[in-house]
Amino acid sequence: MPGTLKVKIVAARDLPVMDRSTDLTDAFVEIKMGTELQKTEVFKRSLYPQWNSDWFKFEVEDEVLQDEPLELRVLDHDTYSAHDAIGKVYIDLNPLLVKESPSVISGWFPVYDTMHGIRGDLNVIVKIDLFSDFNKFRQSSCGIQFFCTAEVPAGYRLQYVHGFVEELVVNDDPEYQWIDKIRTPRSSNEARQRLFSKMSGQLTRKIGLKVLEMGGGAVIGFKQCFDLEGESGIVIRGIGTAVTLAKARDPPVSPLGMSPLKDSQRPLLPALHISMPIVMSTNSNPLQARRSLNAPHLPITPPHHTSNLAFEHHHSFQLEHTHSACLPRQSSSGHTPPQTAPPHIGIGPPSSASHFAFDFAYSSPVPEESNAPSSPQSKNELSSTSPMKMNGTGTRHSSGSDASTPPKGNFLDCSSGSGSGKNFPKICSQQINIELMEFPLFTMTSFPPGFILHLGGVVAARSVKLLDKIHNPEEPETRDAWWNEIRTEIRSHTRAMGCHAVIGYSEETSICDDIILLSAMGTAAKVNLNLDQYQSTRLAPPQVVNTGDRSNMSAERDQSKKLYVDVNLANQVSHRLGLDESSPRYNCALCHIPYKPSSSPFPINLTQCACCRRRYVPDLLFTTINRPPEIHTVGHGAFIQARVCRPKGDGKTEVNAKEISDILPFMEYELHNQLVVKLKIRSMNCLFGLKMQFVVGESMLIGIATGTGVFLSPLPAPPVPRLVGQVTSEEENVELQELQLQIQEKLQRHKDLYNLNSVEISNQNLTSGVQTDDSDDDTSDLDLSAGNKDTFILEVDDTKDNSVKAMLSDVLQPPGMYVCNTDTYPGLTSQNLASNLQMFTQVFRRTVDNLQGLNKDFSEFFDSVFRRLFFKLRRMIPCCLCNVSFAVGAPEENQIEIVVTGICVRVDDSTSQNNSLTDNPMPMHGLETPMTGASSKSLLKPVSNVVGASGENVDEMMFPMEEVTEGSGASANKAARLKVVSNSRNTSQVFSRTFHGIEVTPLAYVPGARIERYIGSYNFFFIRETSSVKEVGGVCGFMQKFITEVLAIVRAHVSSLGGNALVAYNMTQCVLLSNEHKNQSQCLINVCGDAVFASREGEITAVVPDLIHSRKPSDSPSFAT
Amino acid sequence: MSYVDVFVGNFIVIDFELYDLWLKGLSVDECAVALQNRGVLQSTGARFDELISDTKDSFRLYASLEQLLKWPTKFGEQLVYQIDPETQKILIDKYYQFDAHVIREILGKKLSTRLRNNLDEVSEKTKVHLRSCCRQFDNVKRVFRQVEERPGSLEKNIMSCFCLTSDTLAKKYAAIVFMANHRFETCKKRLGHLTFEDFLYCAEHMITNWSYSAAECDNHEDMDVDLDRAFLQDLRDLKILTEKQHVDEHKLFVLNILKTSLKKKRHESLEENYKTTSKAIISIAYGLNHSKEVRNFFSDVIEEVIEPFMLSHWTVEEMKTFLSVYKDSGHRLSVFRSAPNLSVVWDRYMNTFIKCCLKMYHM
């Protein structure tokens, strides 16, 4: 099934002078696809050659099209000696292989040379004629769409989730081959770039094949990682979530007119109908295999150097260390918080952890569903499915204790709910059973409403391995086994939490010499995979259904079959069209614990949910996902970061590995402790977007954790931290009191800053309510009034100890600036986030002078990075720094590197008052319910009237939660609101920047714009080297130039595909090697993202040409032929 | 202390406060101190060394942008920096701004490397940082090189070659280029009191009236860096006015008219000096035909026309009256009637001459 690739070389501009004598260049272009090479004619003596060539044609297998990029090499013709290379252009052809994406790539591409950077631009047109072979999607995996976006892409509807896909490709690193000694740095770099690109193509193709096998059509949350293992090779890993997406209708067009179309909306699935999770590992007993693998190398620490720690909602956590020798040290180390008394630590072989996983696995959905009799039909179903659920659980009981192989052949639907009557059989046949998945891991970080049922907490697993002990470095088996081990462990932790899925899952490595540290983390959760349009409405929170108003409405809509419309809307609209926050369909069930209170896996302070008062919630909730729109938050979010840096001995191999795996749990504990304290000092009770990174350096171990803290209204308000210390003298006592005062002050400051002043009052009321109001049946085995839940005790060993002080002294952002590491800022609506101002990358590297004050220095580095960031962006206030992500490294001995990326989004103050309004849905509800069916025009007025009053209403928002959710949902209402939203956005547009250019953003959306279509994902590895560092402005100048160039190339590719933005941008790798004595530097950068076309309302998409910045003809579609 | 510390954005965002300081030629440290004194650190809680690193970062960016700023048309055909047109415009305009007193020092000189090497003297004299002097010099030189040989309007050429949006700035450069092209002598001691604005004014009028772009010129194809050759040749015909009969006739007319409007004392001194003055004015005119004489235009005007009047304390008003009468009465000369072309040349010359003369007439 070949395709014909057609390439036209139009022109080049601004080429470098290659011939000193004439100050000109005789340029020509080599076009290479696979092994075939063609050339243009030499265009003599010009820096602006115009070839305007004929079409160069290549007949290529689509496997090659997927694996290899089109390579264009610009050269200077030399009659006597070898032609001089000017630079190269690599064009990934994958976007052309997907239906519904552009059929042509056309535009100016920077000509890039690994030694000189960008040297002019090349204008190229590329087309592919794929032979329309009916079976073409069978062998290769063309047609599978890849999204780096870790959520359902805008404009699509999630139809099926097929599960986790992963692949791993290994190759030799050209840099370590013998030939590298004799070839030029340029050819070595180019060989490497080509290899990276080819491996990445292979990886995606292989993953695509797996997705096809599963019956999916796309991969979302796709992540690629490069492990530069050095001598043992290069590893590219890819993980993602296989899904089937259906095109969603344009919501603003006619939301109501869609109901008749519902049947045609079912997607045409590829031939495979029933999706079976594929089992990657044929090994029936991985645990056994693991032992045998590792035992020879590491006899001291059986069975693997894994220290895992699953910390959940609370500071109590479970250390699951298989090395029993470590345990005494843990309990005596004094690091444990008061709550974590030794008996609570989960001890024992791995299997013990999975024991309690089953007792409560699926208990809660059943009563909850029966609480929600939205229609008689569904009630019937439920009663019929629930016994089967029990059955399913039973199976797991018998087979699951090994936690290695999931039961197969169980076709029962264990996740709650299923389709409504009419469609039931159909859905059932296609339902994906999470119990059948080997690894129920989901790489997405945002989910459609109704997907998440309950959130458990963060689960993580880490493992230290030795690279030089890989038997077959060229083969992926060993690494596959390592990752399987880690994933299995994650799964068992998840089960221990009574959950069956891990969401917001990610994997990463850190390599130092021969040590590799593998880590994985995610959020344990209960999910509803069969998220069909009907179900998500049925999953409306019980309290919603209980209110008469709402149930009437839903019944009404059931009859008129408009239900579908509503969900469809919610589905699409949740993607930043500004409706997620404005539709107050809050669901506190997400925060409810997924296990029975009586059998919680670890000691936990449980309280009654402050919203429904029916179920239990933990007092703290940590998650790795973005804030689901269903969860109600109060106030603003806070960027929270914990950092630990510890010196490490210089042991070799096994000794080193042992030391590292011994230290890790303590570091992890310390990080966790810092996070908890920092949260409490901010009066918050939940972390979203938690990311942890552990780095192994030559002389130190680094761990950082970042997240966005918020106050969740269903969870109890955190108590004021109280200091407790061993006071021996009066002085110390005074100091201690001072410190306590400081904490108090800080707390108040934070409350002001994050708009949380209302929290405490309401909480006191709530707690008293819980204590007296003993209505629920489940409370029996939990004494809620006992314990220390009103206080949070900070232990201070020594008043000289700066650790507590350090936790208090975070750099605070200047007023008007908001910081978070999630996609959206809790407390600001998408209307507030008006437009992108600046995407930034900050690279910071310093040498640590002494290892004594390491931890303090380390924190100071971060503070400095923050201060610089705030200073740099001070002119953009009011703004919000979203998706601020940190990557640390320890590149050389005593060196610490911090790479910060993020985006600065303009905050529109004109709607910020509306924000508090949408944040507090009460007045909205009061106004809107009577308005149902009213014209959108009349709606506009009241909304703006509320603005003034909304401020005062914030204080009361905690109480009337039942009422709050009442008015949600009516589709007419929503359509009307949609108009309100679009209107308010129009007005805000007036103040926004007129120039948009090509946006590059780490977010999944473009603020102030709507993503019209996805054009293809971009992923490329750049290498840049120089042997004249001083001449380019030192290492700083070199780095600045290189990152600028990388962004320029990325933008050129986006624009050549007809896009105007790259979303979900991520700099996955940034490795800088520098030798200033030799005046040399080398840097490797890997970037990825999804090219999209986004349109702004009321804006003509074409950029108006002006005198200076005239648009190139190729940028306009008319040039296509 | 920090080893790598860079900040890169998708868009080029310029802190123009810092950019101005950079253009002024301040070093990183001087710049940081200046900013600190303005209190930029207070709002964000940043520290001085962070200000330094930020300044370094911005300076690196400006230095790499400088390559584009030197040839601003390249902004349109490069993909490396994403800059919005508005920022781009300000960047360029600011980059091509100059200090009048620095340019005054290099006005009319040959833009040689030797001159560039001696800019430290200029810097010392003007108290402008050497780096800024060099930038201004380089800008002038580049503009000069670029438009020197280019046909068409000088001002428009400069605007399009350097993407300047302000025509006043382009006009200034046109004047500077014009001055440099003719190598007008501006440094003589007796010219010391003239400012850049004075020369600018004169040069602008010369360009509009005496160059190829003048309304009187029928051959617009050539460049307006050069004086209209046909005009210069015509100026030779004015030599006839130095013949005794014409001088006397002219003198009679002038003195007659001025009898009422000038004070007696002035009238007398004019009567005394008339011959030399008139001779000077006309010899400057036909001298313009020789490029060497063109060079000395300003010093000749000062020395031979202005200074005698200055010595006898004429006011600008009186000077103006005299010159306009001198010009007008020329038309009544018999010789003009026989050669109608002469009258056109006379006006074309005298109009601009009077303007220049009065501009340079500093009391």
Residue B261, pLDDT > 50, answer yes
CB atoms within 10 A of CB A340: 21
| DSSP codes joined into one string, A805-822 | HHHH-PPPPPTTEEE-SS
Residue A944 has pLDDT above 50, yes or no: no
- Summarize the confidence of residues A561-585 as an average pLDDT: 37
Give the separation between CA A997 and CA A594, rounded to whole angstroms: 46
Binary contact (A1109, B47; C-beta < 8 A)? no
Flag the least confident range among A294-308, A574-588, A989-1003, B203-217: A294-308
More confident residue, B318 or A812: B318
Say how far residue A796 (Cα) sits from the centre of its chain.
Answer: 36
The residues near A47 (Cβ < 8 Å, ≥ 6 apart) are A13, A14, A15, A16, A17, A24, A25, A120
ipTM value for the complex: 0.87
Chain A positions touching B15 (Cβ under 8 A) are 875
Shortest distance between the Cα of B318 and any Cα of chain A, in A, equals 48
Report cis status (omega within 30 of 0) of the bond before A303: yes
* Distance of alpha carbon A245 from alpha carbon A161, whole angstroms: 9
Q: What is the pTM of this model?
A: 0.77
Provide the 8-state DSSP code for A352.
H
Own/partner contacts of A84-88, CB < 8 Å, gap of 24 or more, are A84/A18, A85/A113, A85/A186, A86/A15, A86/A16, A86/A18, A86/A25, A86/A27, A86/A111, A86/A113, A86/A119, A86/A120, A87/A111, A87/A112, A87/A113, A87/A116, A87/A118, A87/A119, A87/A120, A88/A112, A88/A113, A88/A190
A871 touches chain B (CB under 8 A): yes
Q: Which of A43-52, A431-440, A940-949 has the highest mean pLDDT?
A: A43-52
Q: Say what percent of chain A tops pLDDT 70.
A: 61
CA dist., res. A685 & res. A716, Å (int): 7
Alpha carbon distance A133, A959 (integer Å): 62
Residue A147, both tokens: 């999204």
Is A997 in CB contact (< 8 Å) with chain B? yes
B229 touches chain A (CB under 8 A): no
Determine phi and psi for A144, rounding to 5 degrees. Answer: -80, 125
The verdict on a CB contact (< 8 Å) between B84 and A1035 is no
Comparing B215 with B55, the larger pLDDT belongs to: B55
Mean pLDDT, range A206-229, rounded to an integer: 88
Distances (CA, A) of A272 to A215, A247, A275, A988: 5, 19, 7, 47
Chain A CB within 8 Å of residue B115 CB? no
> A residues 894-913 near B, CB within 8 Å?
895, 897
Quote the tokens at residue A864.
């400095």
The pLDDT tens digits of the residues spanning B141-169 come to: 999 988 888 877 888 888 888 888 888 89
What is the average per-residue pLDDT within A272-278? 32
Interface test with A, best of B80, B84, B92, B95 (most A CBs within 10 A): B80
**For range A1018-1033, the mean pLDDT:** 88
Taking the C-alpha atoms of residue A301 and residue A661, their distance in angstroms, rounded to an integer, is 9
Per-residue pLDDT at A727: 65
Orientation of helix B340-360 relative to helix B229-236, angle to 10°: 100
Distance from CA of A743 to the nearest CA of B (A): 20
Inter-CA distances, A159 with A241, A432, A565, B245, B351, Å = 13, 11, 15, 107, 84
Contact between A1002 and A1090 under an 8 Å Cβ cutoff? The reply is no
Please tell me the distance from the alpha carbon of residue B122 to that of residue A314, in angstroms, as a whole number. Answer: 71
- Please tell me the distance from the alpha carbon of residue A429 to that of residue A829, in angstroms, as a whole number: 39
Strands A452-466 and A515-527: antiparallel
Q: Are A116 and A39 in contact (CB under 8 A)?
A: no
Residue A497 has pLDDT above 80, yes or no: yes
How much is the pLDDT for B227?
79
Give residue-wise pLDDT tens across range B266-292. 788 888 888 888 888 888 888 888 878
Token digits of residue B216:
């009187």
Check CB contact under 8 Å for B82 and A1048.
yes
Mean pLDDT in residue range A1009-1013? 86
If you average pLDDT over residues B285-306, what whole number do you get?
84
Q: Is the pLDDT of residue A425 over 70?
A: no
Size of interface A-B (CB pairs under 8 A): 157
Residue A655 has pLDDT above 50, yes or no: yes
Distances (CA, A) of A90 to A546, A1019, A1022, A1053, B4: 59, 11, 11, 10, 29
Using CB atoms, pick whichever of A874, A993, A1035 lies closest to residue B43.
A874
**Which pLDDT score is estimated for A931?**
35
What residues contact A187, with CB distance under 8 A and at least 6 apart? none
Given this model, what pLDDT does residue A946 score? 35
Contact criterion met (CB < 8 Å) for B46 and A1035: no
Average pLDDT over residues A621-629: 88
Q: Which amino acid is at B218?
A: D
**pLDDT at B63 exceeding the cut of 50:** yes
Per-residue CA distances from A428 to A264, A378, A439, A576 (Å): 19, 14, 21, 31
User: Choosing among A995, A1031, A1076, which should be mutated to test the B contact, i.e. which has the most B CBs within 10 A?
Assistant: A995
Q: Nearest C-alpha of chain A: how many angstroms from B71?
A: 12
Give the three-class secondary structure for A600. Answer: coil
Rounded Cα distance, A243 and B116, in Å: 67
Q: Give Cβ neighbours of residue A571 (< 8 Å, ≥ 6 apart).
A: A152, A157, A158, A248, A448, A449, A533, A536
Q: Is the per-residue pLDDT at A445 higher than 60?
A: yes
Q: Does position A20 have pLDDT exceeding 50, yes or no?
A: yes
Domains of chain B, earliest start first: 16-85 (no CATH), 100-211 (no CATH), 230-359 (1.10.490)
B6 vs A13, A1036, A1112: nearest CB: A1036
Q: Whole-angstrom Cα distance, residue A173 to residue A640?
A: 38
Cβ of A777 under 8 Å from any chain B Cβ?
no
The predicted structure's pLDDT at residue B167:
84
Rounded to 5°, the CA angle A827-A828-A833 comes to 160
**Euclidean distance between CA atoms A882 and A1108, whole angstroms:** 33
Q: What per-residue confidence (pLDDT) applies to A1086?
A: 92
**Side-chain-side CA neighbours of residue A223 (13 Å):** 21
As a whole number, mean pLDDT of residues A666-695 equals 88
**Per-residue model confidence as pLDDT tens digits over A380-397:** 333 333 333 333 333 333
Q: How many CB atoms lie within 10 A of CB B168?
A: 9
- The H or E element spanning position A517 is strand A515-527
Contact (CB, 8 A) for A61 and A68: no
Q: How many CA atoms are closer than 13 Å to the CA of A127, on its beta-carbon side?
A: 11
Residue in the structure block whose two tokens are 């087309």? A127
How confident is the model at residue A718, as a pLDDT?
Answer: 78
The answer to whether residue A260 scores a pLDDT higher than 60 is: no
Which of A580-589, A596-605, A1036-1045 is predicted with the least confidence, judged by mean pLDDT? A580-589
B77 touches chain A (CB under 8 A): yes
How far B1 CA sits from the closest chain A CA (Å)? 8
Mean pLDDT of chain A: 68
Q: Do A867 and B44 touch (CB under 8 A)?
A: yes
**Number of other residues whose CB lies within 10 A of the CB of residue B204:** 18
Residue A132 has pLDDT above 50, yes or no: yes
Among A400, A944, A884, CA closest to A640: A884
Please tell me which of the candidates A110, A838, A999 has its beta carbon nearest to residue B13. Answer: A838
Contact list in A for residue B28 (CB cut-off 8 A) is none
Q: Which residue has the higher pLDDT, A743 or B91?
A: B91
Distance CA B95, CA B139 (A): 9
In angstroms, rounded to a whole number, what is the distance separating the alpha carbons of residues A27 and A39?
11
Instruction: Please say whether the beta carbons of A833 and A880 come within 8 A.
Output: yes
Give the span between the Cα atoms of B13 and B32, in whole angstroms: 19
Determine, for residues B2 and A846 on separate chains, whether the beta-carbon distance falls below 8 Å: yes
- Condensed to tens digits (0 to 9), the pLDDT of residues A845-867 reads 888 776 666 777 788 888 888 88
What's the angle, vertex CA A882, arms to CA A220 and CA A449, rounded to 5?
Answer: 45
Q: CB-CB: which of A868, A875, A1040 is closest to B53?
A: A868
